[in-house]
Structure 1
Amino acid sequence: MRKLRPTLTLTALAALMCTCQLAAAQASFAPTSTEYSWSTTVNQLGMRNIHNQGILGQGVIIGMIDTGLNTANPEFQNIGSRLLTGYNAVDGSSDITDSIGHGTHTTGIAAATGNGTGMYGVAPEASILMVKVFNGGTASASAINRGIDYASAHGARVINLSLGAPSPIGDASLRAVAAGNNAVVVIAAGNDSAATPNWPGRYAKESWTNGTILVVGAVDANKRIASFSNKAGDTAQYFLVAPGVSIISSYNTGYAYLTGTSMAAPAVSGAAALITGYWPYLHANQVASILLNTADDLGAPGVDAVYGRGMLNVNRALSPIGSYTYRTANGGRTTVSLSTAGVASTRPSVSTPSAFNGLVTQAFDDYGRNYTSDEGAALMGRSIMTLSSVLGRPDRMLDAADQVLSSGSRLTRLQSRQTDVQQASRVGALNASGDPWNQMQRTDSSMVILQHTSGLSFSAGDGGLSGMSLGLMSSSLAQRLSGADQVLGNPILGFAPNHQFASMTLPLGTYWSGRVAAARSKAYDAACGDVNLMELTYDNGTQALNISTGQLTEQGLLGGFSSKQLGLNQQTGTSGVTVSGAWALSTNWTLTGSMSRTRTAAPSASGMLMEATDIHADGYGIGLVRADNWRTDDRLSFTINAPLRARSGTLTYSVVSDVDQTTGEPIYGVHTVNLAPSAREWTAETRYSTRLSASSSISAVAALRVHPDHDASAPSQLAAGIRYNQSF
């Protein structure tokens, strides 16, 4: 019989028997703050948030190969089926009486319950299978083998051996466990201050272990290797360290502070139980690999002969590793590296935030662990009507330079001034936040217009100024429409923000002209597109009519953009027609309006997106403008604008609704997004503007936004402000 010893150092027995009362059984994990502060290992590993999420090791059996268990300890009373019938590998009985206290202490570190009494363990709802292998202070090789065999045969997914010997022992049973690849074996390194672990921990480096054995050394509260702890040595690739100095845990019928690698090993066993409980389909060597690959590097950079792989980090071990893989029912896979920068996701502007509610799937990390990914949540943000959006850009403060060429043609250049000082005060706004009271805009916008004597004209510019030379804003009534221009024009131009553009206008006869135009986004980021337009305009000086047809080629979907798994980052095509008109009712009054229809071809299957339908949308706007109210050339306007809203259109996604807990194989489902909203958004606006001098102007606006984002349940938004522009 070889003499084996539990690898502990008894530092002090805490006289707690009179203060630690037996706690009643609790229906759920509910530790107190005092209990947490007493839970040395849990505290030092920073695991409170893990447990608060309900990750507690439920359903996992930890086989404790040790000196026995004192079932009269408050941590192990009234825990029901979590405490399994133990086994005495010495005499074959079920007597697991712990006359030494060692097994009671190590078991508490691994799995003491969170019952409001004393302390709790790393996996406080794991099941405990105590296998007593010690006869007094020694354990025979045969008892060790019988104990390991018993734990494995009775469902232990984690086997803890806080024991050691100076020569090889226990390999027969460890080989069988490793071959089954169902249980992680965690072994204390030993307390001899040696350069290598004791046996059986030294087996970890052998190929037959299949990566299922972990060896654990002890560190103090400052993460320094304990002076007594054996080091990693030739098992460095399979060696971790964990808290092992002055660890409080269950002892006899009370509690004690003990020190040793015996105390460090059950911390790792508890962590292995948490991972196994959350992903029961993982193999033992996968669980061991996760713990090794997520350890915090200590000592010399990389794997070293002292700390091995480093300090146990349970938070990292439970977090995804490497990448997310999205799986679909047709066998498709989309992999997104976790190091990829986040994508600012937006929904298609013709839909409502709630459209993507419930678009949830399971994504898989590099170990095949499933994580719930609420893909729709990123697309459910609401937009806010800000003061800046209501007041609009100060483009009317553009410097204008006119030149008549020798041919008689007229050249007009418009250039934004370098600095526009804006002073704005918000009279009232609902549901707005982060809106600065004073804003400094520096807009690089410019445009040039060349008008030939034949009637042919050409315009080009950047900064998104195409709206000043397209549609009715190029007609003879343009000046009269100031203040109502937001309800006019082809709305698909809004999907090419801050674009460069060029257009050419040809006279077609009395009152009629035709135009071709192109707008190109300066950069292809999220939801940016290019637009080609053809327009036909009738303008007799009193009435004007414009028919604008356009084709949008967009990287995204109607302003929506997300990571590639949702199929909202692919190229899509939209065609649209806008009919707008204006009528000079009198010298002062002008009535205007527009109506738009668009059709977006069904996006092709991409990522989780399995199929889609065409998306049809419409929008409209009406306005009434009065000029020369109180000052010459001032403008007072009243408008109602309803932006594009989907009338029909669906996106159908293949999702993983669950996984088979035995095999980890996905269980597939389908989620269909209906883009047609429950309501139509519209904004009523009153605006007044006037030029005070050649270099200054003032404008005031009040706007009411009803059903924001086409959401019937969203509260209305109200904004009002005054802006004074002074150019220097």
Structure 2
Amino acid sequence: MAVLDSGLSDPAGEFTGRISAASRGFGSNTSYADVEGHGTAVSAVLAAGRNDRHIMGMAWGATLMALRTDDQSNCSDSGCTHPTSAIASAIDHAWQNGARVINISLGGGTAPGQLLQAVSRATAAGTIIVVAAGNNLEGEAPLVSPDALAQSFADPAYARGLVIIASSVNENDTVSGFSAGVFGFETVSLAALGNRVRTIDHEGVDYLYTGTSLAAPQISGAAALLAQAFPNLSGRQIVDLLLSTARDVGAPGADARYGRGILDVAAAFAPQGQLRVAGTGLAVTPGANSALSAPMGDVTGAALGTVALDALARAYRVDLSPGFLRRGSMHSLGAALDQHARHVTMGSEALALSLNVAPVMGSLSSAGSSLLDVERGRQSRLLSGVLEARFSTDMAMTLGLRTGFSALATRARGGAAPTFLMADHGFDAQRGDLRPAGAMMLSRRLGEGFSLTGGFETGHVGAPVHRPGVTDPVATRPAPYHAVSMTIGMERSAAALSAGLTLMDEPASALGARFDPLLGGQSARTLFARLGGSMRVAPQLTLSANWQHGWTHAAAGGLLTRGGQLASESWSIDLARRNLFASDDLLGIRIAQPLRVVASRFDLALPDQWDWETQVATSRVVPLDLAPGGRERNHELSYARSVGPGWLGANLFLREQGGNIAAMPDDLGLALRWSARF
């Protein structure tokens, strides 16, 4: 940047190594050396070094082109004159030698044509000119408008939107008493501190200077900073940015005292408009969260620093590290007991209906009740239901309402089995995350102990627990799922085996997780393979095991340019003993691991560098590991027997690292239940 003034002297070493070789004197001056002090004072405000001495200039690292234009043969107590021919030559010299900003802290009468043509040539080259508004002369009426020199510079015919008039305010953001007004030039004027501005003179002595001459270099320095930080910006963009981000004071909008407002460098540097990841067009949403599912547990994510562009294509380094909302352990003992539910069954062996209802206004008894009764329907809320239709001894169809396919398959196997409240069966993929709305199952016996079962399920993914008063659009967006399943089974006298596949489609989630669009993975498909088996190891003792493995493919999108892959597992081992203490009791022990991500490949392509010349981003690949550190394990002991007219059940359970969160404390519980049918 260039300073047209009385030159520059640097006895304090504030500009060491930063004085342009193009610096020179004009008119009668043979060098740029300052013998008066005004030019050095202005230059120090603009670009004095960051060295813990004296002051630090606005653009403290910039290279300064000192252009001396004063005439030492024509000086008075108020200073020396600056011939317009010297100013015109200096302006041409500045833009021709690459100066992007020219500071002119001078005042005077209307510029002659020669000088205006120099201004026109500079602005045509894209060079910004900042000119002082002028000071009120002692004993004369205050200037309502800038002085004649500033006015002629700001003429749109020459300025081309690249001239800023600088007025002054004091430390209280009030217009300085000495500062000329900006009437008629409100939209191209900007205010900055001009009262008692600390700087140095040509001998390196600290002084407090006052005048619009000291306001101008602050604006010039801000323009130089923007040009240095964002080389893609044109001069017109820099000017518009400084004017549009000014702190509005006085009358709303541009006014005759403050112009567009007071210079606000921080606001000018702040991103304008929507930030978008460089080279992708993807919007950066501040504070965006992603909602994890229970299989992902305590995943913390990676540091995702990247480059983003604002509406002016200015590059910023931003942190996209996601905030993760976690479900934690959603399966509670209270919900499992659900003491208010009532079980209602009706029908025949060929067609049977089974319902679980919760009383709302009154009680509902299963004995002789009809759910078609309007009044009783008002008094109850349907929790779930199963309709079984048997077409023959070898074929049956089952429909479930708010019941999943896994529950229907367990029901179809029949026979007494231990009741586990907390430890899930190994085939229950995501009991805490998936909320089935309905399911259908067809089963067929094939002879020789073989059977084939198929069906489908639909529902939605539950949302994580929300913080009070906080609504997260990603975490709460609808996330339906659909699944089809097929299982083949084989039974012999003492053993049974099964193998099956389930394909689950999630249009708005990935293995139950809702990711911010920036991270991709907006939809996914998962293939689950299941193996199960049981063996009667003694007349009253049965051992069974179930294992399930899932392969999830998350759709490409956002920064996940090649899609993502997840591997997950769940399993359970059961031991059941009949007739242990009584002829009708049943003891069960289960050890289970709910579904947990065991491996992931979720590679995000993050722009890491931005080339200002080519406007091309260089990316790096950052893996987002979605395998949790925690591993939930459930241990449960179940015992049941008849007592009097009812049935007594007791469960003792231990849950470790619930929700696959390593820091989750152990959950130990005991439940006693007694139920009877009336």
Same fold (TM over 0.5): yes
SS at match of 1:194: coil
Question: Relative to structure 1, is the Cα distance of residues 486 and 98 closer, same or farther in structure 2, using a 3 angstrom cutoff?
Answer: farther
SS at match of 2:507: strand
2:130 match: 186
Alignment partners' CA distance in 2, 1:360 and 1:478: 56
Structure 1: give runs of 5+ residues left out of the alignment: 1-61, 419-443, 710-715
Alignment partners' CA distance in 1, 2:172 and 2:625: 58
Question: Relative to structure 1, is the Cα distance of residues 234 and 477 closer, same or farther in structure 2, using a 3 angstrom cutoff?
Answer: farther
Alignment partners' CA distance in 2, 1:161 and 1:689: 89
8 Å CA contact retained: 1:216, 1:265: yes
Alignment partners' CA distance in 1, 2:42 and 2:649: 79
2:91 match: 148
Alignment partners' CA distance in 2, 1:303 and 1:186: 18
Residue 405 of structure 1 deviates from its aligned partner by: 2.9
Cα offsets for 1:295-352 (capped at 9, x unmatched): 2222333333332322222112112211234454xxxx5253x7x6753246899999
Alignment partners' CA distance in 2, 1:204 and 1:673: 51
- The residue type equivalent to 2:105 in the other structure is S
- The residue type equivalent to 1:185 in the other structure is I
- The residue type equivalent to 1:112 in the other structure is A
8 Å CA contact retained: 2:461, 2:512: no
1:519 aligns with 2:458: yes
Alignment partners' CA distance in 1, 2:411 and 2:251: 70
Greater mean alpha carbon deviation, residues 472-481 or residues 262-271: 472-481
Residue 141 of structure 1 deviates from its aligned partner by: 0.8
Alignment partners' CA distance in 2, 1:355 and 1:155: 49
- The residue type equivalent to 1:97 in the other structure is D
Cα offsets for 1:403-443 (capped at 9, x unmatched): 3336575544335799xxxxxxxxxxxxxxxxxxxxxxxxx
Alignment partners' CA distance in 1, 2:412 and 2:261: 70
Residue 131 of structure 1 deviates from its aligned partner by: 1.9
After superposition, residues 51-200 of structure 1 pair within 5 angstroms as 62-72=1-11, 74=12, 76-77=13-14, 79-84=15-20, 86-99=23-36, 101-135=37-71, 136=75, 137=79, 138-168=81-111, 170-181=115-126, 183-192=127-136, 193-200=142-149
Residue 161 of structure 1 deviates from its aligned partner by: 1.4
1:550 match: 503
Alignment partners' CA distance in 1, 2:342 and 2:2: 87
8 Å CA contact retained: 2:418, 2:638: no
Residue 217 of structure 1 deviates from its aligned partner by: 1.8
Alignment partners' CA distance in 2, 1:502 and 1:233: 73
1:449 match: 386
1:617 aligns with 2:559: no
8 Å CA contact retained: 1:565, 1:608: yes
1:230 match: 180
Structure 2: give runs of 5+ residues left out of the alignment: 137-141, 361-380, 463-473, 674-678
Larger radius of gyration: 2
Alignment partners' CA distance in 1, 2:157 and 2:649: 82
1:703 match: 656
Q: 1:209 aligned to 159, 178, 192, which one? A: 159
Alignment partners' CA distance in 2, 1:161 and 1:725: 85
8 Å CA contact retained: 1:188, 1:261: yes
Residue 185 of structure 1 deviates from its aligned partner by: 1.6
SS at match of 1:230: coil
1:686 match: 635
Cα offsets for 1:436-492 (capped at 9, x unmatched): xxxxxxxx993222345765432212xxx6377245476437852625753522637
After superposition, residues 245-324 of structure 1 pair within 5 angstroms as 245-251=195-201, 252-324=203-275
Alignment partners' CA distance in 1, 2:546 and 2:35: 88
8 Å CA contact retained: 1:205, 1:235: no
SS at match of 2:65: strand
Q: 1:721 aligned to 650, 662, 667, which one? A: 667
8 Å CA contact retained: 1:705, 1:718: yes
After superposition, residues 241-640 of structure 1 pair within 5 angstroms as 241-251=191-201, 252-326=203-277, 328=279, 334=281, 336=283, 343-345=288-290, 361-375=306-320, 377-378=321-322, 386=328, 388-389=329-330, 394-397=335-338, 399-405=340-346, 410-414=352-356, 446-452=383-389, 456-461=397-402, 466=404, 469-472=407-410, 475-476=413-414, 479-480=417-418, 482=420, 485-486=423-424, 488-489=426-427, 491=429, 497=433, 499-509=435-445, 512=451, 514-521=453-460, 528-536=479-487, 538=489, 543=496, 545=498, 547-559=500-512, 562-564=515-517, 566-569=519-522, 571-582=523-534, 590-598=543-551, 600=553, 603=555, 606=557, 611=562, 615=565, 617-624=567-574, 637-640=590-593
Question: Relative to structure 1, is the Cα distance of residues 651 and 451 closer, same or farther in structure 2, using a 3 angstrom cutoff?
Answer: same
Question: Relative to structure 1, is the Cα distance of residues 352 and 670 closer, same or farther in structure 2, using a 3 angstrom cutoff?
Answer: farther
8 Å CA contact retained: 2:499, 2:529: no
Question: Relative to structure 1, is the Cα distance of residues 384 and 404 closer, same or farther in structure 2, using a 3 angstrom cutoff?
Answer: closer
Question: Relative to structure 1, is the Cα distance of residues 725 and 685 closer, same or farther in structure 2, using a 3 angstrom cutoff?
Answer: closer
8 Å CA contact retained: 1:350, 1:675: no
8 Å CA contact retained: 1:492, 1:576: no
8 Å CA contact retained: 1:352, 1:675: no
8 Å CA contact retained: 1:698, 1:722: no
8 Å CA contact retained: 1:216, 1:242: yes
> TM-score normalized by structure 1?
0.70
SS at match of 1:469: helix
Identity score, percent: 20
Residue 178 of structure 1 deviates from its aligned partner by: 0.5
SS at match of 2:424: helix
8 Å CA contact retained: 1:476, 1:539: no
- The residue type equivalent to 2:444 in the other structure is L
Residue 280 of structure 1 deviates from its aligned partner by: 2.2
- The residue type equivalent to 2:39 in the other structure is G
Alignment partners' CA distance in 2, 1:626 and 1:325: 58
Question: Relative to structure 1, is the Cα distance of residues 382 and 565 closer, same or farther in structure 2, using a 3 angstrom cutoff?
Answer: closer
Alignment partners' CA distance in 2, 1:702 and 1:293: 59
Alignment partners' CA distance in 1, 2:228 and 2:359: 65
8 Å CA contact retained: 1:63, 1:129: yes
Question: Relative to structure 1, is the Cα distance of residues 348 and 695 closer, same or farther in structure 2, using a 3 angstrom cutoff?
Answer: closer
* Higher RCO by CA contacts (8 Å cutoff, separation 6 or greater): 1
Cα offsets for 1:642-700 (capped at 9, x unmatched): 624447x67574x6553444x3x233445456678899974444346789999999865
Question: Relative to structure 1, is the Cα distance of residues 403 and 565 closer, same or farther in structure 2, using a 3 angstrom cutoff?
Answer: closer
- The residue type equivalent to 1:480 in the other structure is P
Alignment partners' CA distance in 2, 1:205 and 1:687: 86
Question: Relative to structure 1, is the Cα distance of residues 457 and 685 closer, same or farther in structure 2, using a 3 angstrom cutoff?
Answer: closer
- The residue type equivalent to 1:180 in the other structure is A
- The residue type equivalent to 1:184 in the other structure is I
Alignment partners' CA distance in 2, 1:173 and 1:393: 84
Greater mean alpha carbon deviation, residues 480-489 or residues 225-234: 480-489
- The residue type equivalent to 1:553 in the other structure is E
- The residue type equivalent to 2:102 in the other structure is I
Cα offsets for 1:41-87 (capped at 9, x unmatched): xxxxxxxxxxxxxxxxxxxxx31222333422x3x34x431134542
> TM-score normalized by structure 2?
0.75
1:667 match: 616
Alignment partners' CA distance in 1, 2:587 and 2:193: 77
Alignment partners' CA distance in 2, 1:210 and 1:298: 26
Question: Relative to structure 1, is the Cα distance of residues 196 and 611 closer, same or farther in structure 2, using a 3 angstrom cutoff?
Answer: same
Alignment partners' CA distance in 2, 1:360 and 1:537: 49
